[in-house]
Structure 1
Amino acid sequence: MSGVAELDAPTTGGVIEVFNPSTEQRIGEVADSDKAAVDRAVARARETFEKGVWKNLTAARRAEVLWRAADIIKERANEIAAVEAIDNGMTRAHARNLILGSCEMLYYYAGWVTKIHGDAVDIITEGGIMGTFQEYHGYSLMEPIGVVGLIIPWNGPFYVAISKIAPALAAGCSAVLKPAEETPLSALKLESIFRDAGVPEGVLNVLTGNGETTGAALAAHPDVNKISFTGSTEVGKILVRAASGNLKRLQLELGGKSPLIMFNDADLTRAIPGAAIGLLVNSGQNCCCTSRMYVQRGIYEEVVDKLAVAAKAFRMGGSEDTDVDLGPLISAKQRDRVLGIVNEGVARGATVVTGGKAMDRPGYFVEPTILTGTTPDMRLITDEIFGPVGSVIPFDDEDEVLGWANDTEYGLAATLWTENIGRAHRLAKRIQSGLVWVNCALAADQSLPFGGYKQSGWGHERGWKGLEAYMNTKSVYVGL
């Protein structure tokens, strides 16, 4: 059992077995919550919202509760990280960093709670509808949107859960959280953590289940005012249709096929390790991973060789291992999909420089993989791989590579490596993505908005925009 307690069997719906991706061993089971369970959870959330047991607390009190929740998580960081690593397969160190990052997210939004307000303006009109001179005092109100459904993925479940819970509760909403069926275990700790911090019973509800059952019922529920979803573009499109019944608001953080562009003047002592991290973090299971790496021809051969060396240097191991850098993929299905994309590319002429195979050990491990000789129509270039696989493509000039970088249905993130500051700012404006890194990799902060262009999503998380996304704005005119 690896220290994870097996959960009680559900009273409704079926069960979902949970496996450790590092060992392929079963570590527990959770409920596949049915529509009736979703109805009950939404009803609890709706009751708490209408009664105002959370939203009507003073702002200072709600801020204090969120701060206390962060403190509890920080105190239990090692325990939660151990569960996250066993459930997801990520390394203990990476899991702990994400748990501590979730604390910072809560601290940040706790600080916003006492600063939520609208605007006020005095208005004088002449003529208009009334046909006379008129004075008004006008103001706007920021109000919580209501009951929100939060649907999170498997590639960092605890952190993504907090990135949604923190602004939702800061805004005064009540919530139903559905973790991914592959990684439900750390999310099951959240109800008790927030209850211990002082969030009233029923304000935050956690439901396990499959996407096509629990997730679908939550998305279509007529008493849910908003869905915040992180996951694939394919599922995002399904949610758009499911939300049409009551036109609930949607916040979608979807897929990516992020380009990296490295120019001849790049500082390779920083660019090579940065590119390797940007490609391989969490074994490539990150929507921002730069699996398309465009390198200017003057340094192309050198970069390919050094990237291969860097990739080989990453230490692979399971969630129980120490001193490792990368863990397995989430499942046998994902491992086979990733290797299928690699093998298909090789069959069509791509060359594996390093990696390209499953590891000969238990667990869903795939070697860090670098390829060359790809063409724009290969799935290696068009599809989100979600594995430790990157292709290196030579280019000659700025306009050429910009066209290639933007030639995708996605627009989540991009990375630029250049010492030319003018070029950096010029390309940052022209590239079609919601996030651009210049001479760095995967930098993130809760103060800046995170969201994508094109089919990478709708709306933003983090920052003020992330909080505003959980609120309605009302304008009031008072005649004087």
Structure 2
Amino acid sequence: MNDYVMTIDGRPAETAGTFDVLDPATGEVFAQAPNCTPAQLDAAMEAAERAWARWRREGLSVRRKALLDARRILDDHAGELAELLTREQGKPAREAAEEITDAQAWFTYYAEVEDPPQILQDDDSARVEIVRKPLGVVAAITPWNYPLTLASWKLAPALLAGNTVVLKPSPYTPLATLRFGRLLSDALPPGVVNVVSGKDPLGAWMTAHPVPRKISFTGSVATGKLVAAAAAADLKRTTLELGGNDPAILLDDADPVRITEKLFWSAFENNGQVCSAVKRVYAPASRYDDVVESLAAFAGSRVVGPGAAAGTDLGPLNNEPQFTRVRELVGDALTKGARAASGGTALERPGYFFAPTILADLDDGFRVVGEEQFGPVLPVVRYEDVDEVVRQVNASRYGLTGSVWSGDPDRADRVARELDAGTVFVNTHLALQPNQPFGGAKWSGIGVENGIAGLHGFSEPQVIHRAPGA
């Protein structure tokens, strides 16, 4: 149970202190992870700072090769890493394998993307161009829902831009990331990527540390505000990808039966533990009963069980606090008059299992509609006027993603453009790609990840102005 170590300056770093890692399918401890000390964090930051002096000057071809090596490592060790993900996160083996594939796609994209200098002027009076300069050391903090995918969202562009990284996974899911850090040490110069783990207050130490020039954080709104406040004292650059309460608006010409499966998985992927998943459905009154019935029937036919078990569609929630929150939100809705068309209860078995739940007969005044559930729960709200729905949706403090569903894509597109969200999908959802900028409006975040825009978040523009004849 003590085979997991941190990576600092390219070497394994053990700690005297450890913390428990639980299997969410049983609720029992199955491993110990290292608990980083302040001195070890200083060592990781100093190693990253030393490495940056060299890494920033490496040619682009060297950095591209490093990203391709990272992709190869993920491929060579896919089985091992996926098994760890299932064990510590709870997701079905199929989804764990997909997470490894997704992480590879991000490393591949950034290994191949082109971002040449921008020439503003080149004539007899001057040559003016914009180049991008790396920021320095990046402190990257990832959540427990997609440990390796979201690590790749940060590592790949940060390294390509010429930065070095100190990466901290969630204490609920540290193991696959720790293992990946050890594997990366064979492909990168010492100190370029350092991986530390620990319980609170390790994240706070990282954001307040004087070395990093950039904080890239994915997590809750409450913690994101603390990160922003800590970074402000030193004017660190930040990218904050925070929560979402993402709506799916069904227009009156959407076919409930035809879209049920895609709509369901847009909400219940990773057991609903996805920042950008559908969190609430707005269905027209004329189609409401059909939408609820179709979603409930599909939810009721899903197999809930341990992620490692064959045939499992939905695993457990990842941790006890999230399990308690989902149970509380559903209980509150049912107490106030909502109806569970399917599910509605925790399952009587070890671990953090909750039945896939479709809630009906409720409105925006219910907490389960107005707040992010982050679990296997989907409220369906009846509406009469689509313009009023758009107004209600835009009144939310969140603005990560949304979607509009219709038999007429052009009509859906017109509604989509009225939503205040970083990404709006038409007749789909969760269609995320490495070349597609991803970020949120309002409380859902600051800055973007992915694509060229995400790459630019890890660098500063520098203007080079040459006088004639220079």
Q: Given the two structures, how large is their TM-score scaled by the length of structure 2?
A: 0.95
Percent identity over the alignment? 35
Which residue of 3, 11, 16 corresponds with 2:19? 16
Deviation at 1:270, TM superposition (A): 3.2
Deviation at 1:396, TM superposition (A): 1.4
| 2:9 alignment counterpart | none
Deviation at 1:288, TM superposition (A): 1.4
| 1:157 alignment counterpart | 147
Amino acid at match of 1:35: P
CA distance 1:219–1:13, shift in 2 (3 Å): farther
| 2:190 alignment counterpart | 201
| 2:344 alignment counterpart | 356
User: Residues of 2 paired with 1:65 and 1:117: CA distance?
Assistant: 22
| 1:310 alignment counterpart | 298
Amino acid at match of 1:238: L
Contact kept, 8 Å, 1:412 with 1:433, in 2: the verdict is yes
Deviation at 1:384, TM superposition (A): 0.8
Q: Which runs of 5+ in 1 are unaligned?
A: 125-134
Amino acid at match of 2:240: L
Q: Which runs of 5+ in 2 are unaligned?
A: 7-11
Contact kept, 8 Å, 1:329 with 1:335, in 2: the verdict is yes
User: Residues of 1 paired with 2:20 and 2:229: CA distance?
Assistant: 29
Secondary structure of the 1:119 match is: strand
Q: Deviations over 1:26-56 (max 9, x none)?
A: 1111222132221111110001112x1x222
Which residue of 20, 40, 43 corresponds with 1:40? 43
Bigger Cα displacement from structure 2, 321-330 vs 187-196: 187-196
| 1:75 alignment counterpart | 76
Contact kept, 8 Å, 1:158 with 1:187, in 2: the verdict is yes
Contact kept, 8 Å, 1:7 with 1:28, in 2: the verdict is no
CA distance 1:452–1:182, shift in 2 (3 Å): same
User: Residues of 1 paired with 2:116 and 2:91: CA distance?
Assistant: 37
Report whether the alignment pairs 1:179 with 2:182.
Answer: no
| 1:55 alignment counterpart | 56
User: Residues of 1 paired with 2:256 and 2:332: CA distance?
Assistant: 31
CA distance 1:5–1:42, shift in 2 (3 Å): closer
User: Residues of 1 paired with 2:347 and 2:409: CA distance?
Assistant: 42
Deviation at 1:323, TM superposition (A): 1.2
Secondary structure of the 1:430 match is: coil
User: Residues of 2 paired with 1:10 and 1:193: CA distance?
Assistant: 14
Deviation at 1:477, TM superposition (A): 1.8
Secondary structure of the 2:110 match is: helix
Q: Deviations over 1:155-187 (max 9, x none)?
A: 010111011101011111000000001000010
Contact kept, 8 Å, 1:409 with 1:454, in 2: the verdict is yes
Secondary structure of the 1:247 match is: coil
Structure 1 residues 130-149: aligned runs within 5 Å: 135-149=125-139
User: Residues of 1 paired with 2:337 and 2:357: CA distance?
Assistant: 16
User: Residues of 2 paired with 1:32 and 1:263: CA distance?
Assistant: 50
Deviation at 1:194, TM superposition (A): 2.2
Structure 1 residues 14-413: aligned runs within 5 Å: 14-50=17-53, 52=54, 54-112=55-113, 115-122=115-122, 135-197=125-187, 199-210=188-199, 212-413=200-401
Secondary structure of the 1:141 match is: strand
Secondary structure of the 2:439 match is: coil
Deviation at 1:404, TM superposition (A): 1.9
Deviation at 1:272, TM superposition (A): 1.0
User: Residues of 1 paired with 2:448 and 2:162: CA distance?
Assistant: 18
Deviation at 1:25, TM superposition (A): 1.9
Contact kept, 8 Å, 1:21 with 1:88, in 2: the verdict is yes
Contact kept, 8 Å, 2:115 with 2:452, in 1: the verdict is no
User: Residues of 2 paired with 1:283 and 1:32: CA distance?
Assistant: 28
Contact kept, 8 Å, 1:33 with 1:213, in 2: the verdict is no
Aligned residue-pair number: 463
User: Residues of 2 paired with 1:404 and 1:122: CA distance?
Assistant: 50
Contact kept, 8 Å, 1:282 with 1:326, in 2: the verdict is yes
| 1:128 alignment counterpart | none
Secondary structure of the 1:363 match is: coil
| 1:127 alignment counterpart | none
Secondary structure of the 1:193 match is: helix
Q: Given the two structures, how large is their TM-score scaled by the length of structure 1?
A: 0.93
CA root-mean-square deviation? 1.8
Secondary structure of the 2:417 match is: helix
Bigger Cα displacement from structure 2, 185-194 vs 223-232: 185-194
Deviation at 1:193, TM superposition (A): 2.6
Bigger Cα displacement from structure 2, 27-36 vs 312-321: 27-36
Secondary structure of the 1:416 match is: strand
Contact kept, 8 Å, 2:257 with 2:294, in 1: the verdict is no
